[in-house]
Structure 1
Amino acid sequence: MTTTESRGRGQAQGNPRGYAVLDVETTGLDPYRDRVIQVAIRQIAADGTEESEWETLVNPGAGVDPGPVEVHGLTSADLAGAPFFRDVAATIAQRLAGRVFVAHNAAFDWTFVAVESDRAGVRLEVVDWLCTMRFAKALALDVPDKSLATIATYYAVEQLKAHDAGDDTRVAAEILLRELADAERVGVALPLVVCNSVRHRLKRTLRRWISILPRPRR
Structure 2
Amino acid sequence: MKRSILFDTETTGLDPATGDRVIEIAALELIGDLPTGNNFHVLIDPERDIPEEATRVHGFTLADLEGKPKFAEVASAFLAFIGDDELIAHNARFDFGFVNAELKRAGHKPLDMARMVDTLDMARERFPGMPNSLDALCRRFGVDLSARTTHNALLDCKLLADVYVELMGGRQHGLGLVAEGGQAPSVVYQGPSQRRVVRVVPTPAELAAHTAFVDKLSDPVWKA
TM-score scaled by structure 1?
Answer: 0.71
Gaps of 5+ in 1: 1-12, 192-218
The range that moved more, 116-125 or 157-166, is: 116-125
Alpha-carbon distance, 1:123 to partner: 2.8
- Say which SS state the counterpart of residue 77 (structure 2) adopts: helix
Q: Which residue of 2 aligns with 1:130?
A: 117
Q: Which residue of 1 aligns with 2:50?
A: 66
Encode CA deviations 1:66-125: one digit per residue, 9 max, x unaligned: 132111111111011110000110111112221111111000011111110111112356
Q: 2:161 aligns with which of 152, 173, 178?
A: 173
Q: 2:8 aligns with which of 7, 19, 23?
A: 23
CA distance in 2, matches of 1:188, 1:53: 22
CA distance in 1, matches of 2:7, 2:169: 20
CA distance in 2, matches of 1:47, 1:166: 17
- Say which SS state the counterpart of residue 168 (structure 2) adopts: helix
- Say which SS state the counterpart of residue 181 (structure 1) adopts: coil
Provide closer, same or farther for how the CA distance between residues 124 and 90 of structure 1 changes in structure 2, counting only shifts above 3 A: farther
Q: Which residue of 2 aligns with 1:98?
A: 84
CA distance in 2, matches of 1:47, 1:144: 25
Provide closer, same or farther for how the CA distance between residues 123 and 51 of structure 1 changes in structure 2, counting only shifts above 3 A: farther
Q: Report if the CA contact (8 A) 2:4-2:33 is conserved.
A: no
Alpha-carbon distance, 1:49 to partner: 4.2
Alpha-carbon distance, 1:188 to partner: 8.1
- Say which SS state the counterpart of residue 144 (structure 2) adopts: coil
4+ residue segments displaced more than 3 Å: 124-127, 187-191
Alpha-carbon distance, 1:156 to partner: 1.1
Tell me how many residue pairs correspond in the alignment.
172
Provide closer, same or farther for how the CA distance between residues 44 and 124 of structure 1 changes in structure 2, counting only shifts above 3 A: farther
CA distance in 1, matches of 2:45, 2:163: 29
The range that moved more, 18-27 or 39-48, is: 39-48
Look at both structures and tell me which one has the larger radius of gyration over its CA atoms: 2
CA distance in 2, matches of 1:23, 1:163: 10
For residues 4-43 of structure 1, the aligned pairs below 5 Å read 16=2, 18-32=3-17, 33-43=19-29
- Say which SS state the counterpart of residue 176 (structure 1) adopts: helix
Alpha-carbon distance, 1:189 to partner: 3.7
Q: 2:101 aligns with which of 95, 98, 115?
A: 115
Provide closer, same or farther for how the CA distance between residues 124 and 44 of structure 1 changes in structure 2, counting only shifts above 3 A: farther
CA distance in 1, matches of 2:138, 2:76: 31
Alpha-carbon distance, 1:37 to partner: 0.4
Gaps of 5+ in 2: 175-186, 192-224
Q: Report if the CA contact (8 A) 1:36-1:116 is conserved.
A: yes
Q: Report if the CA contact (8 A) 1:27-1:37 is conserved.
A: yes
Identity of aligned residues (%): 30
Provide closer, same or farther for how the CA distance between residues 155 and 50 of structure 1 changes in structure 2, counting only shifts above 3 A: same
